[in-house]
Amino acid sequence: MLMSQARTANTFNGLVMVNKSEPLI
């Protein structure tokens, strides 16, 4: 359970980072 939550948070952070570095308009 803990690993699943950490994995989800990691993926979310990755998406946010990609979104900030490469904004899609």
Task: Please provide the DSSP assignment of 1-25 as one string.
Answer: -HHHHHHHHHHHHHHHHHHHHS---
Spans of the chain below 50 pLDDT: none
- Residue of 9, 12, 15, 11 whose CA lies nearest to 23: 15
Q: What is the pTM of this model?
A: 0.43
7 CB neighbour count, 10 Å cutoff: 10
- Which pLDDT score is estimated for 1? 60
Length of the chain: 25
